[in-house]
Amino acid sequence: MKKEKSTPPRAWQRMLSGRRLDLLDPSPFDIEVEDIALGLARVARWNGQTSGDHAFSVAEHSVIVERLFSLLNPKANQQDQLTALLHDAAEYVIGDMISPFKAALNSKGNGLDYKDFEARLETAVHLRFSLPATPSPTLVKAIKKADIYCAYFEAVQIAGFTTTEADKYFTRPPNDIRIIIEPLSVAAAEKLFLQRFTQLTLD
Protein backbone atom coordinates (compact mmCIF):
# COMPACT_ATOMS: atom_id res chain seq x y z
CA MET A 1 0.00 0.00 0.00
CA LYS A 2 1.43 3.33 -1.13
CA LYS A 3 1.89 6.10 1.38
CA GLU A 4 0.01 9.28 0.60
CA LYS A 5 2.26 12.22 0.00
CA SER A 6 2.13 14.59 2.92
CA THR A 7 1.53 18.26 2.19
CA PRO A 8 4.40 20.45 3.39
CA PRO A 9 3.32 22.68 6.24
CA ARG A 10 2.32 26.17 5.13
CA ALA A 11 5.05 28.66 5.98
CA TRP A 12 3.52 31.77 4.44
CA GLN A 13 0.92 34.23 5.61
CA ARG A 14 -1.57 36.04 3.45
CA MET A 15 -1.82 39.71 4.33
CA LEU A 16 -4.91 41.88 3.92
CA SER A 17 -3.09 43.77 1.16
CA GLY A 18 -3.15 40.51 -0.79
CA ARG A 19 0.57 39.87 -0.37
CA ARG A 20 1.69 36.36 0.54
CA LEU A 21 4.73 36.57 2.80
CA ASP A 22 6.99 33.53 3.06
CA LEU A 23 8.10 33.51 6.68
CA LEU A 24 11.12 31.29 6.03
CA ASP A 25 12.36 33.29 3.06
CA PRO A 26 10.70 36.73 3.25
CA SER A 27 10.87 38.87 0.13
CA PRO A 28 10.92 42.67 0.28
CA PHE A 29 8.42 42.64 -2.58
CA ASP A 30 5.80 41.03 -0.31
CA ILE A 31 6.03 43.69 2.39
CA GLU A 32 3.66 46.67 2.54
CA VAL A 33 3.67 49.40 5.18
CA GLU A 34 -0.11 49.18 5.54
CA ASP A 35 0.22 45.53 6.58
CA ILE A 36 2.94 46.46 9.07
CA ALA A 37 0.89 49.30 10.57
CA LEU A 38 -2.23 47.17 10.94
CA GLY A 39 -0.33 44.21 12.38
CA LEU A 40 1.67 46.28 14.87
CA ALA A 41 -1.44 48.20 15.96
CA ARG A 42 -3.02 44.87 16.91
CA VAL A 43 0.00 43.46 18.75
CA ALA A 44 0.01 44.24 22.47
CA ARG A 45 3.14 45.07 24.42
CA TRP A 46 3.61 43.36 27.82
CA ASN A 47 1.34 40.50 26.66
CA GLY A 48 -1.57 42.87 27.20
CA GLN A 49 -0.89 43.23 30.93
CA THR A 50 -1.23 47.00 30.96
CA SER A 51 -3.71 49.47 32.41
CA GLY A 52 -6.18 51.50 30.37
CA ASP A 53 -9.09 50.86 28.05
CA HIS A 54 -6.80 49.78 25.21
CA ALA A 55 -3.79 47.53 24.94
CA PHE A 56 -0.53 49.38 24.41
CA SER A 57 0.39 48.45 20.86
CA VAL A 58 3.74 47.91 19.23
CA ALA A 59 2.71 50.50 16.63
CA GLU A 60 2.40 53.22 19.28
CA HIS A 61 5.55 51.99 21.02
CA SER A 62 7.45 52.25 17.72
CA VAL A 63 6.42 55.87 17.23
CA ILE A 64 7.47 56.76 20.78
CA VAL A 65 10.83 55.00 20.39
CA GLU A 66 11.49 56.95 17.20
CA ARG A 67 10.55 60.17 19.03
CA LEU A 68 12.97 59.35 21.86
CA PHE A 69 15.68 58.39 19.37
CA SER A 70 15.26 61.72 17.57
CA LEU A 71 15.39 63.64 20.86
CA LEU A 72 18.58 61.85 21.88
CA ASN A 73 20.11 62.16 18.42
CA PRO A 74 19.08 65.57 17.03
CA LYS A 75 21.46 65.24 14.07
CA ALA A 76 19.98 61.92 12.94
CA ASN A 77 18.85 61.87 9.32
CA GLN A 78 15.47 60.68 8.06
CA GLN A 79 16.88 57.29 7.10
CA ASP A 80 18.05 56.67 10.65
CA GLN A 81 14.74 57.91 12.04
CA LEU A 82 12.87 55.54 9.73
CA THR A 83 15.07 52.67 10.90
CA ALA A 84 14.10 53.57 14.47
CA LEU A 85 10.40 53.65 13.59
CA LEU A 86 10.71 50.21 11.99
CA HIS A 87 12.84 48.67 14.75
CA ASP A 88 10.07 46.24 15.74
CA ALA A 89 8.51 45.85 12.29
CA ALA A 90 9.10 42.07 12.24
CA GLU A 91 6.56 41.78 15.04
CA TYR A 92 3.72 42.44 12.61
CA VAL A 93 4.31 38.83 11.60
CA ILE A 94 5.74 37.13 14.69
CA GLY A 95 4.11 39.15 17.46
CA ASP A 96 5.75 40.74 20.47
CA MET A 97 7.48 38.08 22.52
CA ILE A 98 8.51 39.20 25.98
CA SER A 99 12.26 39.15 26.65
CA PRO A 100 12.24 36.09 28.95
CA PHE A 101 10.50 34.03 26.26
CA LYS A 102 12.98 35.19 23.60
CA ALA A 103 15.80 34.10 25.89
CA ALA A 104 14.20 30.69 26.31
CA LEU A 105 13.76 30.25 22.54
CA ASN A 106 17.37 31.20 21.92
CA SER A 107 18.77 28.88 24.56
CA LYS A 108 21.21 26.27 23.30
CA GLY A 109 19.78 23.03 22.02
CA ASN A 110 16.13 23.93 21.59
CA GLY A 111 16.23 23.74 17.79
CA LEU A 112 14.95 27.26 17.12
CA ASP A 113 17.03 30.37 16.54
CA TYR A 114 14.49 33.13 17.10
CA LYS A 115 17.02 35.89 16.46
CA ASP A 116 17.94 34.49 13.05
CA PHE A 117 14.26 34.23 12.11
CA GLU A 118 13.63 37.80 13.26
CA ALA A 119 16.74 39.10 11.46
CA ARG A 120 15.59 37.72 8.11
CA LEU A 121 12.29 39.56 8.44
CA GLU A 122 14.03 42.76 9.52
CA THR A 123 16.38 42.59 6.53
CA ALA A 124 13.45 42.20 4.13
CA VAL A 125 11.68 45.17 5.73
CA HIS A 126 14.79 47.35 5.47
CA LEU A 127 15.33 46.49 1.82
CA ARG A 128 11.67 47.13 1.02
CA PHE A 129 11.99 50.71 2.25
CA SER A 130 15.45 51.41 0.78
CA LEU A 131 17.31 51.16 4.08
CA PRO A 132 20.62 49.35 4.57
CA ALA A 133 19.96 45.64 5.03
CA THR A 134 21.90 45.71 8.29
CA PRO A 135 22.05 48.96 10.29
CA SER A 136 25.41 49.98 11.68
CA PRO A 137 26.23 48.82 15.22
CA THR A 138 26.29 52.47 16.31
CA LEU A 139 22.76 53.06 15.02
CA VAL A 140 21.48 49.81 16.51
CA LYS A 141 22.92 50.82 19.88
CA ALA A 142 21.33 54.28 19.72
CA ILE A 143 17.92 52.86 18.83
CA LYS A 144 18.23 50.26 21.58
CA LYS A 145 18.87 53.00 24.12
CA ALA A 146 15.65 54.75 23.07
CA ASP A 147 13.83 51.40 23.21
CA ILE A 148 15.07 50.75 26.75
CA TYR A 149 14.04 54.23 27.89
CA CYS A 150 10.60 53.71 26.39
CA ALA A 151 10.29 50.39 28.26
CA TYR A 152 11.01 52.21 31.53
CA PHE A 153 8.22 54.72 30.92
CA GLU A 154 5.85 51.90 29.98
CA ALA A 155 6.82 49.86 33.03
CA VAL A 156 6.09 52.56 35.59
CA GLN A 157 3.14 54.20 33.84
CA ILE A 158 1.05 51.32 32.54
CA ALA A 159 2.65 47.94 33.37
CA GLY A 160 2.39 48.04 37.15
CA PHE A 161 6.08 48.35 38.07
CA THR A 162 7.17 50.48 40.99
CA THR A 163 10.07 52.82 40.32
CA THR A 164 12.23 50.60 42.52
CA GLU A 165 11.42 47.56 40.38
CA ALA A 166 11.85 49.52 37.15
CA ASP A 167 15.26 50.79 38.28
CA LYS A 168 16.29 47.18 38.84
CA TYR A 169 15.19 45.76 35.49
CA PHE A 170 15.30 48.74 33.12
CA THR A 171 17.31 51.91 32.61
CA ARG A 172 15.91 55.16 33.95
CA PRO A 173 15.90 57.89 31.27
CA PRO A 174 17.61 61.23 31.93
CA ASN A 175 15.46 63.57 34.02
CA ASP A 176 15.01 66.04 31.18
CA ILE A 177 13.21 63.46 29.03
CA ARG A 178 9.51 63.12 29.77
CA ILE A 179 7.08 60.90 27.89
CA ILE A 180 3.45 60.28 28.81
CA ILE A 181 2.18 56.85 27.79
CA GLU A 182 -1.49 56.88 26.75
CA PRO A 183 -2.54 53.62 25.06
CA LEU A 184 -4.50 54.31 21.89
CA SER A 185 -7.18 52.32 20.12
CA VAL A 186 -6.09 50.03 17.29
CA ALA A 187 -7.35 52.45 14.65
CA ALA A 188 -5.64 55.45 16.26
CA ALA A 189 -2.32 53.60 16.72
CA GLU A 190 -2.39 52.38 13.11
CA LYS A 191 -3.07 55.95 11.88
CA LEU A 192 -0.29 57.39 14.08
CA PHE A 193 2.26 54.89 12.74
CA LEU A 194 1.31 55.52 9.10
CA GLN A 195 1.42 59.29 9.59
CA ARG A 196 4.94 59.17 11.00
CA PHE A 197 6.06 56.75 8.27
CA THR A 198 4.73 59.15 5.61
CA GLN A 199 6.51 62.10 7.23
CA LEU A 200 9.80 60.20 7.21
CA THR A 201 9.53 59.02 3.61
CA LEU A 202 8.63 62.31 1.97
CA ASP A 203 11.37 63.61 -0.33
Q: Could you tell me the pTM of the whole model?
A: 0.88
* pLDDT for position 4: 57
Comparing CA positions, the residue from 119, 54, 40 lying closest to residue 85 is 40
Quick one: pLDDT at residue 118? 85
What is the predicted pLDDT for the residue at 23?
Answer: 82
The answer to whether residue 193 sits within a structural domain is: yes
pLDDT at 203: 63
Which domain does 147 fall in, by range? Answer: 31-201
In a domain, 165, yes or no: yes
For position 108, which CATH number holds? 1.10.3210.10
Whether 20 maps to a domain, the answer reads: no
What is the number of domains present in the chain? 1
The Cβ of residue 102 has, within 10 Å, a number of other Cβ atoms equal to 14
pLDDT under 50: residue ranges of the chain = none
Does 14 reside within a domain?
no
Residue 12 inside a domain? The answer is no
Residue 95 lies in a domain: yes
- Residue 83's Cβ-count burial label (10 Å; 0-12, 13-18, 19+) is buried
Convert the pLDDT of each residue in 107-160 to its tens digit: 555 555 677 888 889 999 999 999 999 999 999 999 999 999 999 999 999 999
> Considering the domain boundaries, does residue 55 fall inside one?
yes
- Whether residue 25 is contained in a domain is answered as no
